[in-house]
């Protein structure tokens, strides 16, 4: 490590650190494993673990096209069928089948348009997922 630490250690603590620094990599790894098993102390950096979900969220936010997937039409099936017909242009029978069975309603929709469609479906009582 090239960074200077700002933590001040007591004499006993510094003696432990000095002893650990004299160990080989394998010995230091064994000490780390011992602390993990005995005390539940992990050597993993918490910042790296916390950064992973943030990276996933960024990927979702930067996605530009979504598929609109109908998961459940809910209790107001007729209202959902009307929204399916409005968005897809399908006939009544095809829209009814899609509303009842679920599935992809429309593919590669821009984010703003996808959010509007999702709101229409939710207002009609359907459960929608943007993928």
Residue 4 included in any domain: no
The answer on 39 and 68 residing in a single domain is: no
Number of domains in the chain: 2
The answer on 74 and 42 residing in a single domain is: no
Burial of 124 per CB tally in 10 Å (0-12, 13-18, 19+): buried
Instruction: List Cα–Cα distances, 89 to 71, 81, 93, 106, 109, in angstroms.
Output: 19, 11, 12, 11, 15
Whether 107 shows a pLDDT value over 60: the answer reads: yes
Which residue segment(s) compose the domain that 28 sits in?
11-47
Residue 77 included in any domain: yes
CATH code at position 65: 3.30.1390.10
Looking at per-residue pLDDT, the higher value among 117 and 52 belongs to 117
The predicted structure's pLDDT at residue 51: 53
The answer on 65 and 15 residing in a single domain is: no
The predicted structure's pLDDT at residue 82: 92
Mean local confidence (pLDDT), 86-97: 88
The answer on 66 and 125 residing in a single domain is: yes
The answer on 118 and 90 residing in a single domain is: yes
**What residue has token string 């230091």?**
28
Mean local confidence (pLDDT), 115-128: 90
**Residues in a beta bridge with 103:** 70
The overall average pLDDT reported for the chain is 80
Express each pLDDT in 34-90 by its tens digit.
Answer: 878 887 776 665 554 455 555 555 555 567 888 888 888 888 889 989 998 998 888
The answer on 117 and 68 residing in a single domain is: yes
Residue 97 included in any domain: yes
**What residue has token string 């490590």?**
1
């Amino acid at each position: 490590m090239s960074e200077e630490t700002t933590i001040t250690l007591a004499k006993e603590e510094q003696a432990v650190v000095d002893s650990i620094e004299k160990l080989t990599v394998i010995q230091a790894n064994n000490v780390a494993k011992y602390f993990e098993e005995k005390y539940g102390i992990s050597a993993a950096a918490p910042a790296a673990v916390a950064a992973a979900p943030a990276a996933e969220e960024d990927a979702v936010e930067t996605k530009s096209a979504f598929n609109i997937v109908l998961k459940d039409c809910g209790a107001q099936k007729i209202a959902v069928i009307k929204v399916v017909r409005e968005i897809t242009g399908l006939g009544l029978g095809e829209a009814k089948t899609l509303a009842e069975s679920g599935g992809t309603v429309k593919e590669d929709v821009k984010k703003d348009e996808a959010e509007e469609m999702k709101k229409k479906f939710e207002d009609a009582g359907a459960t929608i997922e943007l993928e």
